[in-house]
Structure formats: structure tokens, C-alpha cells
Structure 1
Amino acid sequence: MSALVDEVKDPGSPVAMWLRGTFPHHKDVQLAYRISAGPARVLPSPAVASGTQGAAIDWWLRMLVDRAVSVDLALTGLMSRRVSCVRAGLELLFELGGIDREGRIQPVDSTRLSDRPDEWWARLCYALALWVELHRAASVEGSRLTRLGPDSRAADLLALANDDEVADLIAMRDLAIRHLLPALPPGPVCSGAAFDGSRDLHADSDLIAGGVLVDFKAGRGGKPRADGSRAAGLARAELDQLLGYAMMAYSDTFALHTVAIYAVRFGHYAAWPITDLCAQLAGRPVDFPTLRQEFARVLQVELPAYWAEPRQKRQSVAG
């Protein structure tokens, strides 16, 4: 099954075509977002592996907010046995509370380990990110996990993040405590949740809190300006991804009323009531339940037909 994050980047996909055709007026939203975000507050050193770092801070932010974080995706990557350090991974997951003594997965309540130092949390979240990469990446070549053997222990996994990455993660966490946590509404919290439409197209949320769907973005922004600062960007594909998440909650189980982006390196929380955002992007009033039904048809009928076409034909459409 394909993933929403991939479909919105493919201009020939029925998913991207429907979203961009239905919501063509995106430039004002992008401009307002860039202005309100201001410059990046935390920028990584060259020693930071940005892809893994983004996934690692996602884990830490979930741990800050959700007292029942699922580590299922990380465990799936670990148990794929594409690397030999499975024992070390299980040892670390048990220490975290993500599995019991019989190896059964259970939700993690980070408050149980609130006495652990920041460095431990940073290194733990980096290890979780590496395991998710095992699940998603086509190849394990270049993964730091390949440095470890079958006799490795949890401490060896925690040592895989370098000192710059640890410091960077702590700085982003500190920024989130000041700017993300106070912005979140009261109400039920769920991280990593799948939607009804996840049966049709792979997608899961970073965070849902009190009816607000929050997507974390850890990008460093655009090209450096003359003073070395960077401005935030909201790419069309990122906006489409946010809309897609909301559309895929067919039955409205989470009672979503607002979508938001938290720009991790900018400490910027931007939120939009769903119907207001859709109306602005569409350039007209919208019936959101009807839009959800239309999007479901795209995922269930048009997308399978698109993927059934020969690859050459799909590429010609995209081109």
C-alpha cells in the first residue's frame, strides 16, 4: 500500500490532483505561515543526520504529551531482523516499558521514567527513529544499527546518537515545552493514530489533542539568508498532507475541528479551523462531510486504478 506522504508529492496521483484541484488557493496561507513563523530558533550542526533527527524529535514530542504512546512501529522495524542487534533493542524497549517480560507490546507512559536525564531521552528517541527506518527504508545500507552485533546491549544503542544530535534534540524539546505544550487544548490525547482511510492509504497522525490534529515539521527552513537565518516554508505537498489526514477521518472518530502544524525548529504553532481553512483554499464555502466522501472515493476507486496502470503510463501522467 502506498502512503499519503508519497501520493501528495506525485503530481500524477489522483490524490494530489484532487487536493490541488479542490483547493487551488494556497499561496495566501503559505505567505501568512512564513511571516508568522519568523526565523528558525534551533538549527543543527553539520554532524546532525537530519532525516533520523526529525523522526527522533517526533517520538520525544509524543512522549511529552501522550501518556500511552505506542511503540508498535518501532518494534515492527526491530523485529524485521534486518540487523543483528535485536537483543539490545528488546532490552531497551523493556527498560522503556514498551514491552513486558513476555515480549508483549504495551503503551508507554513516559512519566514513569521522569527521573531519567535529558540525554537518555534524546538517545532513546534516536534509537526508536532508527528502528522505524528499518521498517520503512528499502535498504539498511548506511544505518547506524549495522554497526552493532548480536551481543550488543541497550547501552550500545544509546551510544549511536552523536553529541551534536543529542544537544540538538534537547534544544528542540526545550522549545516545544515553551511553545507547543501551552498551545495544545485540553481533551483526549492520541499519538500515532491511524484513520479510517488508513485502510486505503497508509497514514498516521503525529498527534491529536482535544480535537486538534497536529503535524510536526522538523525542517530547518529555506536557504540561509545573508545574516545566516532561515525562513519557514510550507510546501504545497505539506499542506496537502495535512488536509489529507483530516479527510481520511471518514467517521470523525476523533471529533476533529482544527488542523495545526508545529514547526519544531521555529517553535511555531499554526492552527486553522478545518472548515475555515478548506473554504479559504477552495475559494468558496465548503461542506466538509461531503468533501470527505469525495476523498474516500478517490482513495478507494481512483487510486487503485492509477496504481494498476503500467509504470510508464503513470510516469508520463506525472511528467
Structure 2
Amino acid sequence: MTIISGWPALTVALSNRASPARLFIQERFGRWQDLQARYRESVGSLVVPGSQANPGTIGSAFDWMVRFMVHPSPDLRLALLGARTPPLWHAVHELARTLNYSQTGDSVGTCRFSGPAAGSEADHQLLARACWALALLTDLYRVGPTPGSPLMALAPRSINAEKLLELAPPAALDELQTLRAFAERSLLPSLSARHGAWALGPTFAGSSLMNADADLIAAGLLLELKTGLGSKRRDGTRRSSLEAPTIMQLLGYVLLDFADEFAIEAVGVYNARYAHLTTWRLPELLAELAGRPVDLWEERVAFHQLLATGG
């Protein structure tokens, strides 16, 4: 995929208050205070506290975990993009075979399928270890080599699937298993009711202009997975909030689906540490955030023009 020079990835653009992409979304759909207040009231208590494991890697690993929970062989493209050396590339393919993938060519696994589907039958502990390794490789692709990454300590000639599976610390494995247990009760039942076209890590028509890939689309539901601990109250307890960047991120994905390829009819957020799923029907959400009826086609055309002309 060719990205036009000058546009950062969607999440990076939205973190910049002066970005034309952020200003476009904020000016058109910035009435989110009531939505945020209702969200805060609906979320219960923190059920999965943090640990000594890297929280960023936990988030990436949980994303992979959910993919394996809804399909036996999700696409490993992001991890392979991070596997920039032949030993790492071969180790990922070996890891796929360990997880009973039947396809280990240049394209490994499935991105789109008719769902719901059965998840991976791999041993849960093995799968948690694999998701941690895939998360490290995904982070290597997204942000590049970082000091302290366990991948950097591997001797190139000794890298294989077994070495990748040994990278996960015990605290991370315990945390991932707990997150999985809650997701099986609070997320999967809602997803399993959605029949139709599913996509894992989908990219959009607009991703050729601004790099963006979402977490999951399940038969018209665009879902964002979060593992944030939330902010602290005065008494030291945590609470989950619907942050403005998350709202803008969901809207950005919707706008980048220029031709309505995924027929997105609803968006949602699953906060794994609170075992809380919230979804909103898209037409009503857009109207509330805009303070007026919204023609989504017109908004997509305008956003496309903004990106195509460089803002």
C-alpha cells in the first residue's frame, strides 16, 4: 500500500491538535460531552488491574488474542511486516504451523471471512505466548526497534518459534488469560450474534491516503478494543472514560471507508479491563455528535477531498 507523503497515520494525525484531519472531525462531530458522560455512568469497576507486564504490549497482545478467539487462523500480516530479517520471518511461519495454520506462504491466515466462526483450538497458554510474540513483532513494525524490546536480545542465528514463545513473562501470561476469560463472557456472546461479513485488522479505501487499520468489523459493527486502566479517582480507584481521541478514531475509520465497502452500521468500544462493551448505531451517533442530520456519503467525499489535496 502506497501512502501519500505528508499524511501521517490516522492515530498520529488525531494526536496533533493542528492536524487538518483532526480539525475536520472535531469541527463536524465535536459534540461528544453528553456521550462521554453517559459512557462514564454505564461502565462498572475495574476487573483486571495492571501488572509488571508492559501495558502497551498487553494491549497489542490482547488484540491478537481476540482475533484468535473469533477465527482459527487470523491474518499474520502485521507481525510479518515487523519480521524484517529472514530468521524472524521464518520463525513467524514456524509459529503459524505450531498454531495449526494450514497455509504458510507469503500470505498467512485470513483477514476476511463469513462470521461468526469458531476460534482457535490451540492450548490457551500456548496461544497467550504466541500473542505476546506477535504483539512484539507488530510493535516493531509500527514504531520500529525500541530499547528494551525482548526481540532485540535474541541472537539472529538462534531465532525460531520456540524462542519467540519464550519471550512472554509470567505476569503477562496471567494478565492475558484473565482478560480472555472476561472477554469470553462479556464480548463474544454479542459478537456471535452478528452474522455476515467479518474482517480482522481491516484497512479502508482511504488507507492508501492515510495509513489506518481498525481492530475488527463484525457484520457491520466496527469495534475498537481498549485495555487502558482509566483515570484515578481521589480515593485511588480507577474509572474508564471515553476519550475524545477514541471517538475521533472511530469516526476516522468510518470516514475512510469511502465507498462503504464494509457497510458499517454501528461502532463500538470494548474496554477489556472493565469487561465492558458499548455500541452505538452509526446514524444516531453521527447526528448527535454533529448536532444535525448527517449525510455520511457527503462527509466521506469531503474527507476524501481533504486528504487527496493535502489539506
- Using the size of structure 2 for normalisation, the TM-score is 0.89
CA distance in 2, matches of 1:200, 1:11: 19
Q: 1:12 to 1:98 in 2, by over 3 A?
A: farther
Q: 1:134 to 1:111 in 2, by over 3 A?
A: same
CA distance in 2, matches of 1:113, 1:57: 14
- Which residue of 84, 87, 92 corresponds with 1:89? 92
CA distance in 2, matches of 1:123, 1:224: 34
Unmatched tracts of structure 1, length 5 or more: 304-319
Unmatched tracts of structure 2, length 5 or more: 112-116
- Which residue of 181, 188, 200 corresponds with 2:197? 188
Secondary structure of 2:273's counterpart equals coil
- Which residue of 190, 197, 209 corresponds with 2:206? 197
Cα contact 2:228–2:273 (8 A) shared by 1:
yes
- Which residue of 114, 136, 144 corresponds with 2:150? 144
Where do 1:68-217 residues align within 5 Å? 69-78=74-83, 80-81=84-85, 85-97=88-100, 100=103, 103-107=105-109, 114=121, 116-149=122-155, 150-184=157-191, 185-217=194-226
Cα contact 1:60–1:121 (8 A) shared by 2:
yes
Secondary structure of 1:130's counterpart equals helix
CA distance in 2, matches of 1:40, 1:202: 32
CA distance in 1, matches of 2:72, 2:160: 26
**In the TM superposition, what is the alpha-carbon distance from 1:188 to its structure 2 partner?**
2.1
- Which residue of 30, 55, 64 corresponds with 2:69? 64
212-221 or 146-155, which deviates more: 146-155
**In the TM superposition, what is the alpha-carbon distance from 1:112 to its structure 2 partner?**
8.2
Q: 1:113 to 1:293 in 2, by over 3 A?
A: closer
Q: Which residue identity does 1:163 align to in structure 2? A: P
Q: Which residue identity does 1:154 align to in structure 2? A: A
Secondary structure of 2:158's counterpart equals coil
- Residue 46 of structure 2 corresponds to which residue in structure 1? 40
Secondary structure of 1:302's counterpart equals coil
**In the TM superposition, what is the alpha-carbon distance from 1:293 to its structure 2 partner?**
1.0
CA distance in 2, matches of 1:260, 1:240: 12
Secondary structure of 1:188's counterpart equals strand
Cα contact 1:97–1:108 (8 A) shared by 2:
no
- Using the size of structure 1 for normalisation, the TM-score is 0.87
Alpha-carbon RMSD across the aligned residues, in angstroms, is 2.1
Q: 1:210 to 1:84 in 2, by over 3 A?
A: closer
Q: Give a deviation string over 1:66-125, Cα, whole Å, max 9, x none.
A: 3552111111111x12x9655433321332355746x432315996851x3221111100
**In the TM superposition, what is the alpha-carbon distance from 1:253 to its structure 2 partner?**
1.2
CA distance in 1, matches of 2:120, 2:309: 46
- Residue 114 of structure 2 corresponds to which residue in structure 1? none
**In the TM superposition, what is the alpha-carbon distance from 1:24 to its structure 2 partner?**
2.0
Secondary structure of 1:215's counterpart equals strand
- Which residue of 282, 301, 309 corresponds with 1:293? 301
Q: Which residue identity does 1:96 align to in structure 2? A: L
Q: What's the % identity of the aligned pairs?
A: 34
Q: 1:57 to 1:138 in 2, by over 3 A?
A: same
- Residue 315 of structure 1 corresponds to which residue in structure 2? none
- Residue 6 of structure 1 corresponds to which residue in structure 2? 12
Secondary structure of 2:261's counterpart equals coil
**In the TM superposition, what is the alpha-carbon distance from 1:225 to its structure 2 partner?**
4.6
Number of residues paired by the alignment? 297
Q: Give a deviation string over 1:103-150, Cα, whole Å, max 9, x none.
A: 432315996851x32211111000000111111123342211112112
